[in-house]
Structure 1
Amino acid sequence: MAKLYLLLAALFGGTGVVLGAFGAHGLRNKVAENLLEAYKTGVHYQMIHALALIGIALLIQQLGAKTSLIVSGALFAVGILFFSGSLYGLTFGGPRWLGPITPLGGALMIGGWIALFFAALGYSK
């Protein structure tokens, strides 16, 4: 599981840099300012949670594949897809039903942090 989360972190981190550069150079003056801000928010959260996935991978290597860590990583990964993905889709004129997907992705990310909290509670050295 640690390898999967590390691979996802690299994928999300790398695509986050590409999407951030594209947003800064390719979208300026091409989409409405509010959509550009939403796009930037998607990139920002994607990058934060890519780093969080690196942390989860390292914790799994150190502590073992505890359920709370596995759940945390899964929630971060799916949260990125839903939260950031829906914001990217809306920026490019995707269907309006993507709008309600964004807070669902945010809730998944929050759930990932809660699962990490429970992993920390169960940690003893």
Structure 2
Amino acid sequence: MKFFVVIGAINAFLAVALGAFGAHGLKDRLEPYYLDIWKTGVTYQMFHAIGIVVVGLLLSRVAGSALFTWSGWLMLTGIIFFSGSLYILCLTKISILGAITPIGGVCFLAAWILIVVGAIKHL
């Protein structure tokens, strides 16, 4: 499915841009603790952006697989909740936002499990 390849590539682009912004634009504005959190958000966004591209490629081979489709949506949701909450936490220092982050982590875990199941079932 072309959609997931495009969404994955856009998220990879954003991860690079946000990584550069953190390294250059925020290095003098945030304490090292928050810069490390920012880096975690960027790292997980990039890993899962690549995962979304992989989902798109898997769907080009096994069109219509609900397992792979759900995996792509869960990875995108995970990026929003996990990385997004970390970025907002760093910029606002509102610590309660850290409670949202695990929702994204669970989405990531579920997405990878669906890829495993989909690979066993379809490949």
Alpha-carbon distance in structure 1 between the residues aligned to 2:93 and 2:84: 11
Instruction: Report the 3-state secondary structure (helix = DSSP H, G, I; strand = E; otherwise coil) of the residue aligned with 1:99.
Output: helix
- What is the CA distance between 1:96 and its match in structure 2? 3.3
Give a deviation string over 1:30-80, Cα, whole Å, max 9, x none: 101111000000000000101111110000001112010011101000000
Alpha-carbon distance in structure 1 between the residues aligned to 2:39 and 2:110: 22
Long gaps (5+) in structure 1: none
Structure 2 partner of 1:64:
63
Alignment partner of 1:99 is 2:98 = yes
What fraction of aligned residue pairs are identical, expressed as a percent? 38
Alpha-carbon distance in structure 2 between the residues aligned to 1:92 and 1:57: 32
Output aligned runs, 1:80-95, within 5 Å: 80-93=79-92, 95=94
- What is the CA distance between 1:97 and its match in structure 2? 3.1
Structure 1 partner of 2:75:
76
- What is the CA distance between 1:99 and its match in structure 2? 1.0
**Number of residue pairs aligned between Structure 1 and Structure 2:** 123
Q: Compute the RMSD of aligned alpha carbons.
A: 1.1
Output aligned runs, 1:1-125, within 5 Å: 2-93=1-92, 95-124=94-123
Stretches of 4+ moved more than 2 A in 1? 94-97
Letter in 1 for 2:77: V
Task: Tell me the TM-score normalized by structure 1.
Answer: 0.93
Task: Tell me the TM-score normalized by structure 2.
Answer: 0.95
Long gaps (5+) in structure 2: none
Alpha-carbon distance in structure 2 between the residues aligned to 1:29 and 1:94: 16
